[in-house]
A and B are shown apart, each in its own frame.
Chain A
Amino acid sequence: DIQMTQSPSSLSASVGDRVTITCRASQTVGRYLNWYQQKPGRAPKLLLYGASTLQGGVPSRFSGSGSETDFTLTITRLQPEDFATYYCEQTSSSPWTFGQGTNVEVK
């Protein structure tokens, strides 16, 4: 199975900050990399797919980059509603696997 490792596991930030989360795959996944946001008690929400394609309705302050094994999720100008846990997921080969998550909390 492809292992997905996110860093950091948690971070503290303030409204207006620029936040960067990294996801590394144990083997190449091309650009088959998705990012999700999850808030407590809710299902995950798709933010980006194909490493950098923004899902409809997701604010443009979210962006993704990378390919093969190294990927980045960037949130520019963090908003109050962005405090949540973020997960990457590879869908290059079965079983699809998620990272362990990055909790973005209020500083």
Chain B
Amino acid sequence: EVQLLESGGGLVQPGGSLRLSCAASGFPFSTYWMHWVRQVPGEGPVWVSRIDNDGNTIYADSVRGRFIISRDNAKNTLYLQMNSLRAEDTAIYFCARDPLAHGSCYDIWGQGTMVTVS
């Protein structure tokens, strides 16, 4: 079964750090571009970051310089290192698979992990 499973969320103080993980299974992880998308409950999703299968990365302005997306293809795992966290980073964080690369969309999502900065 194709699956993404996030972990690592929790409660952290402003200025703190957290590392999210996303374990992939059921598909050739190394060949897919991957994204992080976050969502404040009751609001729309917001794209956070993307890493392609060569390790190239892009970020939303709101997290650039504070968050780092990375991947370990040997472990089939995507990461999001979040530093200098702010209250406005509080959200559910989803990892998502991009089947299209150029043009992007997210066909497989994890269940999400909640990050609370307070």
Residues of chain A whose beta carbon lies under 8 Å from any beta carbon of chain B:
32, 34, 36, 38, 43-46, 49-50, 55, 87, 89, 91, 94-101
Contacts and interface: CB of A to CB of B under 8 A. Distances in A.
B59 to A, nearest CB: 8
Interface string B38-73: 000000111100100000001011000000000000
Given A34-B105, A94-B58, A95-B61, A43 B111 contact: yes
B44 A91 contact: no
Contact of A44 (B50, B103, B109): B109
Main secondary structure of the interface of B (DSSP, over half): loop
Interface residues of B, number: 20
Contact of B105 (A91, A94, A99): A91
Main secondary structure of the interface of A (DSSP, over half): loop
Contact of B47 (A49, A97, A99, A100): A97
Nearest to A99: B44
B29 interface: no
A32 B103 contact: yes
Contacts of A45: 109
